[in-house]
Structure 1
Amino acid sequence: MKKMMFGGLLLGLFSICATAALKEGDVAPDFQAQASLNGKSFNFSLKDALKKGPVVVYFYPSAYTGGCNVQAHTFAEKHDQFAAAGATIIGVSLDSIERLNEFSVDPDYCAGKFPVASDAGGKIAKSYELNIREASPGKKDSRGKEIDHGFAERTTFVITPDGRVSETVGGIAPAQNVEKALESVQRLAEARHSSRKP
């Protein structure tokens, strides 16, 4: 009985930790990472991206897995709406850059619309206070290829040009995650527009 109670406490503690990501008002850690856009690698810099406007940094467990495929496809479909609100999208996972070169160009997923960055050691995810869990041995992706990296929890951060978190989106379905991020950047765009009015 004591073991069961202790297990329950541990599970509860883990659940609390799973939502311990950076929150609204926190300073977003700057990062640079090797990323891929439409199958081509380049060096992504959050600091440089923020010079153009808000940045949606979305962490996801792994390319070519169910929810992540849906999320990437939805971001690609909504890309023009994010761009219209002045926002840049960057996906971040523990995938290798080689896997991301394939994922970024895949017409069913990123479709060359936005970049995805490789956080192979999980350093960026940890700096955003996200949990990482190891892949089970033999786990395969939706193409039948083995996944050999850990999974960061699915959480999206909307970051304003001053480098602060405007909204943290987590704990909801992948497509809803994209919708909430879009609503957030559209609110920011409306606020910018209103502040410019005489």
Structure 2
Amino acid sequence: MRRALTPLLATLFALAAVPADAALPVGTRAPDFRTVGALGGKPFGIHLAERLKKGPVVLYFYPKAFTSGCTMEAHAFSEAMPEFKRLGATVIGMSADDLGTLKQFSVKECRSAFPVAVATPNTIKAYDVSMPMVGMVRPMTNRTSYVIAPDGRIVMVYSDLDWKDHVAKSLAAVRALKGK
């Protein structure tokens, strides 16, 4: 007798089977958005245009809070925050998780070092980061990192389900943008 896959296993198999593709090429203007997010467990509004006034933005999309890859990626970004801050860059993590989950994730896994925000269906579509999931009610994002210059231009896109190179590639792009 065959046993049905648990929802978690079904999700993991689906994540492994779907290639991550970002359709927004370098040089494209980043779509503006407003959403809610959390930093250190406290909710607040996030508007991309306002963040860009302060310098470059690293916008990284991840599939699901508290999963192993997303947790390790959040730890890696939090460890690199002193360098991102030194370069004047803002880091924002985004997923389709609800605000309550993101409030917890911002403290436990992001270590209160950077905000995480709700990727709305419109934002997911605008950035072309939807992860097709059979039978899933809520959308999920693939793992894609964008570096956006203060003028709103995308200067780096990296899309790969493996979390390991996202921080290094994002930092390299910010350094190149800042000429350092």
The TM-score with structure 2 as length reference comes to 0.84
The residue identity in structure 2 corresponding to 1:37 is L
Q: CA deviation at 1:129?
A: 1.6
Residue matched to 2:103: 101
User: Residue 94 of structure 2 corresponds to which residue in structure 1?
Assistant: 92
Rg comparison, structure with higher value: 1
Q: What residue is the counterpart of 1:196 in the other structure? A: none
Matched, 1:113 2:113: yes
CA RMSD across the alignment? 1.8
What residue number does 1:141 align with? none
* % identical equivalent positions: 40
Asked whether the equivalents of residues 61 and 150 of structure 1 are also in contact (C-alpha less than 8 Å), the reply is no
**Residue 42 (str. 1) matches residue 31 (str. 2):** no
> Among 129, 152, 175, which residue is 1:186 paired with?
175
Q: Provide runs of 4+ in structure 1 moved above 3 Å.
A: 134-137
Unaligned runs of 5+ residues in structure 2 are 1-17
* Structure with higher RCO (Cα < 8 A, 6+ apart): 2
**Structure 1 residues 118 and 178 mapped into 2: Cα distance closer, same or farther (>3 Å)?**
same
For 2:6, the equivalent position in structure 1 comes to none
Moved more, 25-34 or 182-191: 182-191
Distance in 2 between residues matched to 1:61 and 1:111, nearest whole Å? 18
Q: TM-score, normalised by structure 1?
A: 0.77
Helix, strand or coil for the counterpart of 1:56?
strand
- Would the aligned equivalents of 1:122 and 1:152 in 2 still touch at CA under 8 Å? no
1:77 and 2:76 equivalent?
no
Deviation at 1:20, TM superposition (A): 4.2
Distance 1:184 1:46 in 2: 18
Cα separation, 1, equivalents of 2:99 and 2:47: 16
